[in-house]
Amino acid sequence: MSAPVAEIAVVEDVWGPTFDALAAERTVLRVPDAWQRPAELPALLAGVSALVVRNRTTVDRSLLASCAALRIVGRAGVGMDNIDVPAADELGVVVSVPFGANAVSVAEHTVGLALAVARHTVPLDTDVRSGGWQRRPGRELAGRTWGLLGLGATGRAVAALARALGMRVIAYDPYVPDGDIPLVPLTQVARDADVISVHLPATAETRGLVDDRLIAAMRPDAILVNAGRGEVVDEPALADALSAGHLFGAGLDVRATEPPTPGPLENLPNVVLTPHVAGITAESQDRITQVLAQDIRAVLDGGTATSPAGIGQPRRQP
Ligand SMILES: NC(=O)c1ccc[n+]([C@@H]2O[C@H](COP(=O)([O-])OP(=O)(O)OC[C@H]3O[C@@H](n4cnc5c(N)ncnc54)[C@H](O)[C@@H]3O)[C@@H](O)[C@H]2O)c1
């Protein structure tokens, strides 16, 4: 007798108590490294109704079309660069994205990176561990200006923390209405901000937005943090500027290629690097899996998702 086809497939490293509960009710296929073998995914997902991914599984039109029973894709995170949402809409597959569920986590990490750069935390830690005691002065952020590139959920959460530190906040985002945070041109963020943090998705407009010219226009003692998408920052241009002593330092949670091949940025002492974890905390993962589990249950039972991207209407029926 062949094994029953799983209703739900989790093909990246996503789990937690909420998914334990889901797995107690429904059949769940859990293959956290399946995303590494994209050619095998159509066969693995044959008959599956719900697919759960992070950002490493390419959910393109051909995969969506090959999974005839698929009714919902749950994205454990907020970026949608790896999912063809228009194709999912056309094919009647709901894409559930827990918008904003990791914004506080991203904001805390973003501020943490800026503070680590400002206070030389990583090189001082390395020095103390090897017996040193160099009491090198850092810099305060209070009274300075924080510039946001992208004023969505994560940018707004950073603004709240930056203000709590006593900073003035400005933002560049042509797609949001005027509100309590002054919106300014990109060049003004570069000119005026002491800390600039990137909270942009990777799109045709944003790729390479932070290029050599924009970096040259930044204050020579500015700190740049990228917690959006790596492709937005021209990494060779950033490494050149930092090597030349332009900019105080940088904190990078996301990279153009992940994982990156170690290069000039890895050798600079005023750069703090983390492996795309800004949004990953116990709390955010709990919020994310709750939204996904709720939407998966709803769609598989013939209802609608609470947090859909795109049209979000399941046309494929149970
Ligand atoms: N490092 C991490 O762990 C992590 C976690 C969450 C999100 N992210 C990334 O950060 C990005 C932002 O997340 P979010 O939750 O704030 O998303 P969001 O959709 O709420 O906000 C994105 C903002 O970018 C703005 N934007 C889009 N194109 C722009 C452009 N060309 N110029 C200026 N602004 C533009 C939008 O208007 C929007 O306000 C996500 O797309 C994701 O790629 C990374």
**CA 148–ligand 1 middle distance (angstroms):** 11
pLDDT range class, residue 230, cuts 50, 70, 90: very high
With a cut of 70, say whether residue 318 has pLDDT above it: no
Query: Atom 5 in ligand 1: which residue has the minimum CA distance?
Result: 279
List all residues whose CB is within 6 A of at least one atom of ligand 1.
78-79, 102-103, 106, 150-155, 172-176, 199-201, 203, 205-206, 227-229, 253-254, 276, 278-279
With a cut of 80, say whether residue 28 has pLDDT above it: yes
Ligand 1 pocket mutation, candidates 12, 105, 173, criterion most atoms within 8 A of CB: 173
pLDDT range class, residue 315, cuts 50, 70, 90: low
Phi-psi region of 49 (alpha: psi -120 to 50; beta: other; left: phi over 0): alpha
Quote the pLDDT of residue 1. Answer: 42
Average pLDDT over every residue of 215-220 = 98
Q: Which residue from 152, 94, 86 is spatially nearest to 308, judged by alpha carbons?
A: 94
Q: The whole model's pTM is what?
A: 0.93
Question: 262: which 2 tokens?
Answer: 């170690």
Average pLDDT over every residue of 203-211 = 97
pLDDT range class, residue 255, cuts 50, 70, 90: very high
pLDDT range class, residue 311, cuts 50, 70, 90: confident
Average pLDDT over all residues of the chain: 95
- Given the CA of residue 280, which atom of ligand 1 is nearest to it? 3
Average pLDDT over every residue of 130-135 = 98
With a cut of 50, say whether residue 34 has pLDDT above it: yes
Quote the pLDDT of residue 267. Answer: 97
With a cut of 60, say whether residue 317 has pLDDT above it: no
Query: Atom 37 in ligand 1: which residue has the minimum CA distance?
Result: 175
With a cut of 80, say whether residue 89 has pLDDT above it: yes
Query: Atom 26 in ligand 1: which residue has the minimum CA distance?
Result: 150
Average pLDDT over every residue of 282-303 = 96
With a cut of 80, say whether residue 215 has pLDDT above it: yes
Given the residues 40, 205, 258, 266, the one annotated as active site:
258
Give the 3-state DSSP-derived string for 53-99, with helices as H, strands as E and coil as C: ECCCCCECHHHHHHCCCCCEEEECCCCCCCECHHHHHHHCCEEECCC
Query: Atom 20 in ligand 1: which residue has the minimum CA distance?
Result: 152
Number of helices followed by number of strands (H, E) in the chain = 11, 12
Quote the pLDDT of residue 35. Answer: 96
For strands 145-149 and 72-75, give the pairing: unpaired
258 is catalytic: yes
Ligand 1 pocket mutation, candidates 196, 197, 199, 214, criterion most atoms within 8 A of CB: 199
140 is catalytic: no
Q: What is the full DSSP assignment across the chain?
A: -PPPPPSEEE-SS---HHHHHHHHHS-EEE-TTGGG-GGGHHHHTTT-SEEEE-SSS-B-HHHHHH-TT--EEEESSS--TTB-HHHHHHHT-EEE--TTTTHHHHHHHHHHHHHHHHTTHHHHHHHHHTT----------TTSEEEEE--SHHHHHHHHHHHHTT-EEEEE-TTS---SS-B--HHHHHHH-SEEEE-----TTTTT-B-HHHHHHS-TT-EEEE-S-GGGB-HHHHHHHHHTT-SSEEEESS-SSSSPPP-GGGG-TTEEE--S-TT--HHHHHHHHHHHHHHHHHHHTT---SSEESS----S--
136 is catalytic: no
Write the CB contacts of 39 (distance below 8 Å, at least 6 apart in sequence): none
With a cut of 70, say whether residue 125 has pLDDT above it: yes
With a cut of 70, say whether residue 29 has pLDDT above it: yes
Average pLDDT over every residue of 241-265 = 97
pLDDT range class, residue 5, cuts 50, 70, 90: confident
